[in-house]
A and B are shown apart, each in its own frame.
Chain A
């Protein structure tokens, strides 16, 4: 099974979902 890794879309996600929390 596959999952798309989210870290690579950080800027895009931040723009559309302000308040999202990222962890290193």
Chain B
């Protein structure tokens, strides 16, 4: 009987230990459950925050080709020229060539074609020409890039010229509420409806024999502000419709080209080719 009692006592102790272990396990499970709940709540908050950021981003960038006011505030007519300062401090501005550009950041980075800024690069290199000019007219000539956004003239800085293909990046000192978004992948573009945006006003005809005109300075043929050269129509963007008929890759340069029939003129060079949601596929050349 003593033995049996001892066994029973031991069994009771074991049962107590098992119960204690069970309580510990339940508590641990509860804690794990709470942690899981917290993780789920955190994950949900993170998703909501990410959705808000994505939503804000969409609201703060162009998202439709029907947003004409937004587009007018995000495209720019690029004018290459020079400022001439005479010995007595009088200033003149001369336009040499023009093209199009569009903004891709809120702080004024604008994309254009490399060939649109070609005349600027030429003037930058023309040291002898500038020295001769100074001797001949007692005046300095300084190359300049201006960008007209919604008819307002801004000085632009050349930030980058691509060594791979025909694009360049400018920067103007202006805030942009809704820049364009760029398309990262060229999938399913064949037959897509597109719009070409730009300032088609002939890039060169008003400046025939432009280098001659530039180096032959006469006050009465110059403007004090280059804005006087352009009328309202030339400072308003034009949007043309078309479809993509081919997407090819140049075998030598590996550059991808989009063939489309949205009409562009010389001055539209540097403008964006956009889809319906205003995302930019590329730069018109």
A binds B: yes
Given contacts A3-B257, A21-B179, contact A16 B169 (CB under 8 A): yes
Count of interface residues, chain B, beta-carbon cutoff 8 Å = 45
Taking the closest CB of chain A, its distance from the CB of B260, in whole angstroms, is: 6
- What residues of A have a CB within 8 angstroms of the CB of B247 in the complex? 5
Within 8 A of B (CB), among A1-24: 1-10, 12-13, 16-24
Given contacts A19-B105, A23-B181, contact A1 B262 (CB under 8 A): yes
| Complex CA–CA separation, A17 to B122 (angstroms) | 24
Q: When the two chains form the complex, which single residue of A2, A16, A24 contacts B160, counting CB atoms closer than 8 Å?
A: A16
> A22 near B284 (CB under 8 angstroms)?
no
> A9 near B165 (CB under 8 angstroms)?
yes
| Complex CA–CA separation, A22 to B166 (angstroms) | 20
Q: When the two chains form the complex, which single residue of B182, B184, B279, B285 contacts A3, counting CB atoms closer than 8 Å?
A: B285
Given contacts A1-B284, A6-B282, contact A13 B169 (CB under 8 A): yes
> B273 near A20 (CB under 8 angstroms)?
no
| Complex CA–CA separation, A9 to B162 (angstroms) | 9
Greatest chain A CB density within 10 A among B256, B257, B280 is at B256
Taking the closest CB of chain B, its distance from the CB of A2, in whole angstroms, is: 5
Within 8 A of A (CB), among B237-285: 242, 247, 254-264, 273, 279-285
> A5 near B186 (CB under 8 angstroms)?
yes
Q: Does B199 contact A (CB under 8 A)?
A: no
> B186 near A19 (CB under 8 angstroms)?
no
Given contacts A17-B109, A20-B109, A21-B61, contact A1 B261 (CB under 8 A): yes
Given contacts A10-B184, A17-B159, contact A5 B107 (CB under 8 A): no
Q: Does B183 contact A (CB under 8 A)?
A: yes
Q: Which residue of B lies closest to A15 (CB)?
A: B160
Q: Chain B 46-68 against A: per-residue CB contact (8 Å), 1 yes, 0 no?
A: 00000000000100010000000
Q: Does B96 contact A (CB under 8 A)?
A: no
Q: When the two chains form the complex, which single residue of B106, B182, B259, B283 contacts A7, counting CB atoms closer than 8 Å?
A: B182
Q: Does B5 contact A (CB under 8 A)?
A: no
| Complex CA–CA separation, A4 to B281 (angstroms) | 8
Q: Which residue of B lies closest to A18 (CB)?
A: B105
> B169 near A1 (CB under 8 angstroms)?
no
Within 8 A of A (CB), among B100-148: 104-107, 109, 111
Interface positions of A (Cβ within 8 A of B) = 1-10, 12-13, 16-24
Query: What are 28 A-B residue pairs whose CB atoms fall within 8 Å in the complex?
Result: A2-B259, A3-B258, A5-B186, A5-B256, A5-B257, A6-B283, A7-B183, A8-B255, A9-B167, A10-B182, A12-B160, A13-B104, A13-B169, A13-B182, A16-B109, A16-B159, A17-B104, A17-B159, A18-B105, A19-B109, A20-B104, A20-B105, A20-B182, A21-B182, A22-B181, A23-B183, A23-B279, A24-B185
Interface positions of B (Cβ within 8 A of A) = 57, 61, 104-107, 109, 111, 159-160, 162, 164-167, 169, 179, 181-186, 196, 242, 247, 254-264, 273, 279-285
